[in-house]
Amino acid sequence: MAGDIIIRTENLTKCYGDFKAVDELNLAIRKGEVFGLLGPNGAGKTTTILMLLGLTEPTRGRAWINGHDCTRNPLVVKSFVSYLPDNVGFYEDLTGRENLRFTGRLNGLEGEALEERIDFLARRVGLSGAIDNQVGTYSRGMRQRLGIADILVKDPQVVILDEPTLGIDPQGIEELLQLIKELSVTDGRTVVISSHLLHQMQKICDRVGIFVQGRLLASGPLDSLWEQVSGQQGQLLELAVEPDNPQLREILGRLPDVEEIQQEQALYILKLKKDIRRELAGVLAKQGYTVLHLRMRQGDLDDIYRLYFQQEGVA
């Protein structure tokens, strides 16, 4: 619904000479959702964020956050939007508390209220035991946690995160993703995440926009993206078996729900009318085949990218 839209762009475009970093971007992000700006490095995600923050002007088009024009009213936008860059900087010789205190004072907080806010945020991000240590001793994961606390000091309505999980160990990633999800579910904040790590973003995003070469390839809930990209291509099944012999293709071709058979190196790609994995496994077992790999392809962000690059002829 239009009244729920907090971030909107209209034909947003950024050119550097003849190069289009962002090309006619139209987005509508709802209040309280986690929205992923997903794409490979150089896809235009960070440039989009900079335009939303009023840090770079669009070549054409416009962007609004909470009804305020991001280019004409950047200070108003910054009053209720917080941004965590991909490599957040802190004063290394100051403690985590002192860094947060500095941010708080920049945002008009002082005294006991500020100290209570810092203690609350340290607990919230799991840094209570390290908040009075120098930031120079922090790991990458601890720095990101401190970064989350830092952007929450002013209690923003919108949080924008640029590649927040880079360089963090697997356990730290899971904990950070959970914390980011809580910003939406528990706090009701709108969260925009830029990332090229598709499998991580699948876990927390309500909707995503897929960026490739400055263009928005598809946008929406994860379960709707495959049809947008594939053009109603149908259900695709990946199959690998032993032995891989000429009789296998004949067996597959006799199955009534198999519309088409292709090969990608060691994988057979079956276009299906419906999911026949259980039936297929039984047929192959009776014929003496061992199934090595059996997976439906659609619905996975990596699959969406793979299909796109195949269609575009990009290696």
CA angle 152, 156, 160 (to 5 degrees): 80
CATH architecture of 234-297: 2-Layer Sandwich (3.30)
For residue 11, how many C-alpha atoms fall within 13 Å in the half-sphere facing its CB?
A: 3
According to the model, what pLDDT value does residue 3 have?
53
Confidence (pLDDT) at 221 = 82
Q: What percent of the chain has pLDDT over 90?
A: 66
How far apart CA 65 and CA 34 sit, in angstroms, is 15
Mean pLDDT of 66-90: 93
265: CB partners within 8 A, 6+ apart: none
- DSSP letter string, 70-95: TTT-HHHHHHHEEEE-TT----TTSB
Q: Over the range 138-149, which residues count as b (16 or more CB within 10 Å of their CB) and which as e?
A: beebbbbbbbbb
Measuring CA to CA, how many Å separate 175 from each of 121, 132, 179? 15, 21, 6
Which residues lie below 8 Å from residue 239, measured CB to CB, with a gap of 6+?
Answer: 252, 267, 268, 269, 270, 280, 291, 293, 294
d(Cα 207, Cα 42) in Å, to the nearest integer? 21
> What is the edge-to-edge ordering of all strands in the sheet holding 19-30?
19-30, 5-16, 60-65, 68-69
What pLDDT is attached to residue 2?
44
pLDDT per residue over 151-171, tens digit each? 999 999 999 999 998 888 888
Q: CATH topology of 2-221 equal to that of 234-297?
A: no
- Per-residue pLDDT tens for 267-293? 998 888 888 888 999 999 999 999 999
Residue-by-residue DSSP string for 31-49: TT-EEEEE-STTSSHHHHH
User: Which pair of tokens denotes residue 34?
Assistant: 């986690």
Nearest to 209 by CA among 23, 19, 36, 86: 36
pLDDT at 43: 87
Mean pLDDT, residues 83-111: 94
Confidence band of 206 (pLDDT split at 50, 70, 90): very high
Q: How far is CA 216 from the centre of its chain?
A: 13
**Is residue 69 within 8 Å of residue 62, measured between CB atoms?**
yes
Does residue 179 register a pLDDT over 80? yes
The predicted pLDDT at position 1 comes to: 40
pTM: 0.77
* Residues whose CB falls within 8 Å of the CB of residue 207, separated by 6 or more in sequence, listed in order: 29, 30, 33, 35, 36, 219, 220, 221, 222
**Other beta carbons within 10 Å of 93:** 9
- Is the pLDDT at 236 greater than 90? The verdict is no
Where do the structural domains in the chain lie, given as residue ranges? 2-221, 234-297
For residue 303, pLDDT over 80 is answered with: no
Q: How, if at all, do strands 207-212 and 215-220 pair?
A: antiparallel
SS3 label, residue 120 = helix
CATH architecture, domain defined by 2-221: 3-Layer(aba) Sandwich (3.40)
Backbone angles phi, psi at 285, to 5 degrees: -65, -40
State the average pLDDT over residues 118-137. 96
Coil, strand or helix at 171: helix
